Chains A and B, each alone.
Chain A
Amino acid sequence: MLFTAILYISFFVFLLGLSYKVSTWFSLKIGIASKNFTTSERMSAAVKGILGVIFSPKILILVKVFILDIILQRRILKEDFLRWFMHMLIFIGFMMLLLMHAFDSFITAPLFEEYYSTVNPFLFLRDFFGIMVLAGLTIAAYRRFILKVPRLKTSPMDYYAIIILTIIMISGVLLEGIKITSYTEFQNMVENYSGLDDEEEILTLEKLWVKDFGLVSPNVKEPIDPALIPLSKKLHNMNCAECHSSTEWAIMGYPVARLLKIVALRLDQLGGVNAFWYIHFLACFIGLAYLPFSKMFHFIASPVSLLANAVMDKNKSLPANIATRQAMELDACTHCGTCSLTCSVAMAFDKTGNLNILPSEKLVFLKTYASGKDLKENEIKAIQEGIYLCTNCDRCTVVCPVGINLRELWFNVREDLIQKGTPIPLVLSPFSFYRGLNQQKLDSKNYSNPVSLTKDAITDKCGLIKNPDKVISLTPVNKEFKKKVDLSFQATTYSYCFSCQNCSTVCPVVGNYENPQEALGLLPHQIMRSVGLGLKDLAFGSKMLWDCVTCYQCQEHCPQGVKVTDVLYELKNLAIKESFNNE
């Protein structure tokens, strides 16, 4: 039979997809942490880790997380009640439909001796759970398309998830509605389940079904003679009531049946029941077969992420298991956008439009990146800015509803992404502090590459710095450059400098070197004078610019009121802009 064949095929595809996806958890290499492990090492480490947890008191943590975070979804509730409500409606509604309705012959029937899909409470509950899912989907669509939650991006996967669930639900409701009205269905049921064969009796029964239960029959015209009803009811009670509750209990199907009344006969003749039956089942089968590759896969991966993160510890867990967990976490992400909503630097996305700044979108990037996609130069630049423009405030990790340890994920992929041999302007900013703080965890051989590469990229464009013997031409003065130093009103104060060298004398950076000129190129007072003389190369190219600790000693001590530190800040802005953005 076609139905069974499709069911088995889609289930087979699902299993195949599932095993493929789970196998990628052990094979995908993400960032620097996974470099040294083979797939088999990661698999055996996983078995060891899982057994270690199951046979230890940690199992209690798993039970707790399972109840609070997976079933009750406490982490979503903490962030946003509406979202929790939405997700619970879909989660409970869909799971119950799956268990009670879709798997009725495996679960509900063996559990309840009296089970018929047509009797209460099952008849009612099916529609009740359906309403839950549809209400949840409505809230989901409302949040994404009307409420426009800030920074909540909708990807094709999000559309797919909402659409496939909606098709399954709507086709189910329509199928039920049409079935209620269907004369063919009625005939079949009378034939199969009732003891009636007298046509007159069947017609009498039909009248009650037309009047009360939504049937649309070609033989019965309303209004129906009330005198016949007691007999109809008697026939109904004897033949139908035992296995069929009133269709009015189908709180969605019944109103739909009533709405379809006018077209019901035509629909029945055209085989409407069959058509919607196919749509409903095909949608379910497609949903099932494609599940491992869709956002819906999170219903497997997210609980795994929550459980794994509850018992794993960066310092104690096997490194191979952390590599595996990070690959799995890419599947656990539901693209819900909570991280981006709470991100400390998300404003930078609003300003620059670089999606990779948002944690939720970085994860989307990582999914394609981990699968081995080659990156174009501008994509590399964007992800490098995105991964580095991060204060490591951990807020994304704290709020992630599926418990993804984003802090460790970023740390792991950041190093990989910035070691591509290209200059990254942001490494010359205090964003580098975190990397410096954690340098012992990094490969010391390549550690300083990104910074020196970027510094060199800037100096390379400064001819005068590269050839100190070159004669400086002071005419004509580079007025254009001087004009640019005006981002803040303070910067133009460089023109008051008369080279008294107070700034360089109090500078702790200058004081740190025995031969500061050699180490730093230009000293602060020389930089001030360079700007005054319009010598862009000297102003941009000296190491002093990037070694400035911004302690404001120079500015505080300038007798002329030159805002030395602010001018240096300004030059840094300009040097980055001119060296990297105008290519």
Chain B
Amino acid sequence: MNKKMKYALFLGCHIPARVQQYETSARSVLSEIGVDIKDIKEFNCCGYPLRNSDFKTFVLFSARNLALAEKLGLNMITLCKCCYGSLKMAKHHMEENPFLKDAVNKTLAKEGLEYNGNLEVKHFLSALYSDIGINTLKEKITKNFKDLKIATHYGCHALRPSNIMQFDDPISPVIFDRLVELTGAKSIDWALKLECCGAPVLGINDDLSMNLTKRKLTDGKKAGADYLCTACPWCHLQFDSVQKMMIEQRRIINNHLPAILFPQLLGLAMGIGKKTLGINMNQIDINAIGD
């Protein structure tokens, strides 16, 4: 990392309302590294939940956010993989389809906004890995979690479709594992690493959603993981709040696998306090970590 980096932080809707520990932990990690964050109050929903019903409105939602960041000449950093996927997807569609872009810009012009595509969208993980770099991060690590086994959960919408997302190799990605290994923990191999968490159909088909979650948890547990590591609020809610609900509903018995957000893990390794990292705010108790 050469010069001081600055990003527009895109939080999306879940994090400020339900996964605040993701925001506080990510902010504290970024500030520890010396990354500058700009908050744009006018950001709206990325449009992801609208894709099922209204493609054009979905693109418009994303485009407005992109235009807001572009206006300030900043690249965007997202904490959510679905926001990341949506923003990149909308960007891609507007690049490929000038008519769509024009229609969107016509609507945006009413607020004095314009989208031209002169910005990059980064996920928190890709920013850490590619922009900041493993070496810079290494300097900040003060603790070594050498006995810890972590199952990394990549999250679908960052990885695929890989030609658009350009996040990492879609078949054998490494970014997340390298980042986890920075903390001294072992990133284990597990079969369902790249599979869906189940969140997209929660509320539509709960049995399916929870079965997908359960399969992943069981597989991770079987592979010897102590924690499942997430970097997306949807996945995290699924593996934390929904897992807790599944335990209460006795859908999961004796094979639960607590989830930890990546910036919580990284923050602990950097010596940031548990309170700042919101360790207590996870639904399934992860207080034992690092003791």
Contact = CB atoms under 8 A, between A and B. Distances in A.
12 contacts: A351-B54, A393-B14, A393-B45, A429-B53, A430-B200, A448-B206, A509-B212, A547-B204, A551-B196, A552-B160, A565-B161, A569-B55
B217 to A, nearest CB: 14
Contacts of A434: 203
Given A433-B234, A489-B96, A547-B208, A391 B49 contact: yes
Given A150-B111, A432-B204, A433-B234, A347 B64 contact: yes
Interface stretch (A252-260, A319-327, A435-443): A435-443
B148 interface: no
B97 A569 contact: no
B4 to A, nearest CB: 29
Interface stretch (A296-304, A309-317, A570-578): A570-578
Interface in A55-108: none
Smallest CB-CB A-B distances: 6 pairs: A432-B203, A436-B203, A552-B160, A393-B13, A436-B202, A391-B13
A435 B61 CA distance: 22
A294 interface: no
Contacts of A512: 208, 211-212, 215
Nearest to A454: B204
Interface in B163-194: 170
A484 to B, nearest CB: 12
B57 A348 contact: yes
B52 A427 contact: no
- Residue of B18, B45, B162, B198 most packed against chain A (CB within 10 A): B45
Nearest to B165: A552
B107 A351 contact: yes
A419 interface: no
A441 to B, nearest CB: 11
Contacts of B208: 509, 512, 547
Contacts of B201: 546-549
Main SS of chain B's interface residues?
Answer: helix
Contact of B212 (A344, A391, A432, A508): A508
A364 interface: no
A437 B48 contact: no
Interface string B221-263: 0000000000000100100011001001000000000000000
Interface residues of B, number: 58
Contacts of B57: 347-348, 351-352
Contacts of A551: 156, 160, 195-196, 200
Interface in A353-409: 389, 391-395, 398, 407
B44 A549 contact: no
A436 B53 contact: no
Nearest to B41: A342
Nearest to B206: A436
B76 interface: no
Interface in B52-71: 52-57, 60-61, 64
Contact of B55 (A348, A352, A392, A487): A487
Interface in B1-43: 12-14, 16-18, 41
A345 B13 CA distance: 10
B64 to A, nearest CB: 6
Interface of A: 150, 342-348, 350-352, 389, 391-395, 398, 407, 425-437, 439-440, 448, 451, 487-489, 508-509, 512, 546-553, 555-556, 563, 565, 569-570, 572-573, 576
A509 B207 CA distance: 11
Nearest to B237: A437
A508 B208 CA distance: 10
Contact of B53 (A398, A435, A548, A573): A573
Contact of B170 (A428, A431, A556, A565): A556
Given A347-B61, A437-B242, A553-B160, A432 B97 contact: no
A547 B201 CA distance: 6
Contacts of A547: 201, 204-205, 208
Contacts of B51: 429, 550, 569
B199 interface: yes
A439 B200 contact: no
A489 B97 contact: yes
B44 A345 contact: yes
B289 interface: no
A437 B202 contact: yes
Given A488-B55, A546-B205, A563-B161, A552 B156 contact: yes
Given A346-B44, A451-B203, A555-B161, A549 B52 contact: no
B72 interface: no
Contacts of A573: 52-55
A347 B60 CA distance: 8
Of A429, A430, A440, A553, the most chain B CB neighbours within 10 A belong to: A430
